[in-house]
Structure 1
Amino acid sequence: MKRKKGFFRIFSIVLALVTMSVLTVACGDDDESSNNDWPSKIIFGAVPAEAASSLEADYETTRAILIAQIDGLEEIDFFQATEYAGIIEGIIAGRIDVGQFGGFSYVIATNNGADVDVAGVMTRDPAIEPGYKSYLVTQPDSGITSIEQLAGKTVCFVDPGSTSGFLFPSEGMLSAGLDPSETSTDITPVFAGGHDASAITVANGECDAGFAYDTMITSQLINSGDIKGVIDDVGDENVNPEDADLRIIWKSQTISGAPMAIINDLPADFIARWKEVIAENVNVPWAIENGFCEGTLEDNNCSFADEDDTWGYVPKTDAFYDGIRQVCEVTKASKCG
């Protein structure tokens, strides 16, 4: 009897150990397989601010950080559209997983059925609300000194879906009593296709005036050598005014910063992780500290987006773009939907 009791005691201990091992392995398998439905490849769509720009180069640091920080993500392929309509259609059709929008094109997308979430908003400074402005420029000696004087002129816009290149300029022109629409008889509208193209077309004399976002005028085109300088009649952003090719004569109100949007068809925990990495890791301090780019906070080679002075991204919700929806109500722009 003692021998049998000893046997059963040993058998019970062995069985318990085996059971614990099985449970441990099973739990481990669950942990390892919890991300099995996460995609290994993401299609990222955007419209470059400059015609000659490469999305792969513009977003090099962003892509590297996302692939390094998200389990199982191996590729981010870029879809480079020539206008915002291509990104909107791709998002709605499910051909694009993540899109970099302007605020207006994001609103157009959501108004037309895109099921997306704001993954983050580009900013130049995390200490202030992310935003930028639209500038109206002319040649320095054009004689045009106000937005009201655009009547009868050839005016360059960027794209009918551009926030700073059409929607907010439309609000300014309507306030001046001018029709900014594509069928306007008050002006001759030209859609240049890019912020750089709009401004350069003005500098070359092919448009009497044109709209583009702020830093395209005051830094990017100057740094690239496309223009030598700019005179600012509205504020104090003069750059090489003695050699200026452009004159700023109007500035919009501050526009909510450009959002990165991610489709809600992706797994919820993947979306949460993507947003977490965008908010916590895709920024200059973290990228430099962790070896994804080099330099200082003020002077570095980080490439997060197609704007030279992008610090990174900050978290925001869809409600951040309600101001743009209100401008849509005022302008009745056909693209607002």
Structure 2
Amino acid sequence: MKLILRGVTLLLMMATGMAWAESACKQPRVLHFATIPKKSLAQQYEEFEPLRQELQRVLGIPVRTVSVHSYQAVIEGLLSGAVDMAELGPAAYIQAKERDPGVQAVAAYSFRGGPFTPEGSYYNSLLLVKAGARIKSIRDLKGRSVALTDPGSTSGALIPMTEFKRESGVVLADYVGRRIYAGSHDRAIEAVLSGAVDAAFVSSRRADDYIGRGESKAGALRELWRSRPIHYDPFTLSSQLCPEVQTRIRQVLLTPSPARQQLLDTKGAVGMQAVSDEDYRWLEQLVSQLK
């Protein structure tokens, strides 16, 4: 009898704990969305507008975009609950996941091919120089200036500091003359084209977008080095959101609709697919190397 009573007591305690966890989750009155700065935030949020309105319709609450000007600020917003949904870079997602295992990657784009990126759901970190530059190889970068993107960027910081070093044997801090963080991929590319720096590490997708917008001709940039493929940036949900809210957001992101198609067309994307931790897990080792 005592064993039975203990079992019943344990079940009641578990049920109470589950009920408490359910009631403790967040049912937002306003859903806040933020994205890492890849280019002009105003442009990024203009592209997101059709999906913002669809989320607002499906959730039945206002959905607001939040201006956040660094990768780290987006991570902190997601972890604190000030941001409910974010588009993170792969490395930024790993950093957020390490601090809160409950954050969830739910969806990522797949894109048409471009001058630097094949069609599909992967991109690369590129080391680019101006087409007419006398820099013909990585060794020619000795003493030169190089732009990175943001300390939280996968292609613009993590990969150059880890994979690039492993493959080329070049430690940027010891080899190049000057390193700067441009703040975004667009600004890093602009720095190369203007001659402000000799080379830059950027996302191949962002380079394609820059050319696609007519900001530069495809032949104006030359590739010196390319990383292994990296899965595209995940839309990520806060661990604090209630399960039913998370489910409805997933449905909006992954179910074809006119609003989603409008977003894909604006982005030059061909689709959006479900993603999970496994798609980004290989980056954990690289992130740990920078600690």
Taking the aligned partners of 1:177 and 1:149, their CA distance within structure 2 comes to 14
Q: Which moved more, 1:149-158 or 1:197-206?
A: 149-158
Taking the aligned partners of 1:39 and 1:251, their CA distance within structure 2 comes to 42
Of 175, 178, 187 in structure 1, the residue corresponding to residue 167 of structure 2 is: 175
Aligned residues of 1:131 and 1:258 also touching (Cα < 8 A): no
Answering whether residue 267 of structure 2 is matched by residue 308 of structure 1, we say yes
Answering whether residue 76 of structure 2 is matched by residue 89 of structure 1, we say yes
CA spacing shift, 1:147–1:173, aligned 2, 3 Å: farther
CA spacing shift, 1:66–1:311, aligned 2, 3 Å: farther
Taking the aligned partners of 1:76 and 1:99, their CA distance within structure 2 comes to 12
Partner secondary structure for residue 138 of structure 1:
strand
Partner secondary structure for residue 248 of structure 1:
strand
Answering whether residue 140 of structure 2 is matched by residue 149 of structure 1, we say yes
Partner secondary structure for residue 303 of structure 1:
helix
Taking the aligned partners of 1:85 and 1:304, their CA distance within structure 2 comes to 26
The amino acid that maps onto 1:310 is A
After TM superposition, what 4+ stretches of structure 1 lie above 4 angstroms from structure 2?
none
Alpha-carbon offset, residue 114 of structure 1: 6.0
Partner secondary structure for residue 156 of structure 1:
strand
Alpha-carbon offset, residue 112 of structure 1: 2.6
Taking the aligned partners of 1:328 and 1:146, their CA distance within structure 2 comes to 27
TM-score by length of structure 1 reads 0.70
Alpha-carbon offset, residue 252 of structure 1: 1.2
CA spacing shift, 1:148–1:107, aligned 2, 3 Å: farther
CA spacing shift, 1:55–1:142, aligned 2, 3 Å: closer
CA spacing shift, 1:50–1:174, aligned 2, 3 Å: same
Aligned residues of 1:123 and 1:257 also touching (Cα < 8 A): yes
1:1-337 matches, within 5 Å, as: 38-51=27-40, 53-70=42-59, 72=60, 74-113=61-100, 115-124=102-111, 130-170=121-161, 171-180=163-172, 184-187=173-176, 188-218=178-208, 220-230=209-219, 245-281=220-256, 286-287=257-258, 292=259, 302-303=262-263, 308-329=267-288, 332-334=289-291
Can you list the C-alpha shifts for 1:249-272, whole angstroms capped at 9, x where unaligned? 221110011101111211111111
Alpha-carbon offset, residue 62 of structure 1: 1.5
TM-score by length of structure 2 reads 0.81
CA RMSD of superposed structures (Å): 2.3
CA spacing shift, 1:208–1:50, aligned 2, 3 Å: same
Structure 2 gap segments, 5+ residues each: 1-25, 113-118
The amino acid that maps onto 1:118 is A
Aligned pair count reads 258
Taking the aligned partners of 1:189 and 1:204, their CA distance within structure 2 comes to 16
Which protein has the bigger helix share?
2
Q: Which moved more, 1:202-211 or 1:58-67?
A: 58-67
CA spacing shift, 1:142–1:132, aligned 2, 3 Å: same
Aligned residues of 2:37 and 2:71 also touching (Cα < 8 A): no
Alpha-carbon offset, residue 186 of structure 1: 1.9
Which residue is 1:241 aligned to?
Answer: none
Higher relative contact order (CA 8 A, sep 6+): 2
Can you list the C-alpha shifts for 1:81-130, whole angstroms capped at 9, x where unaligned? 221000011111111111100101100111233631112122226xx862
Q: Which moved more, 1:198-207 or 1:160-169?
A: 160-169
Partner secondary structure for residue 59 of structure 1:
helix
Structure 1 gap segments, 5+ residues each: 1-36, 231-244
Can you list the C-alpha shifts for 1:246-303, whole angstroms capped at 9, x where unaligned? 212221110011101111211111111211221113xxxx32xxxx38xxx8xxxx23
CA spacing shift, 1:55–1:199, aligned 2, 3 Å: closer
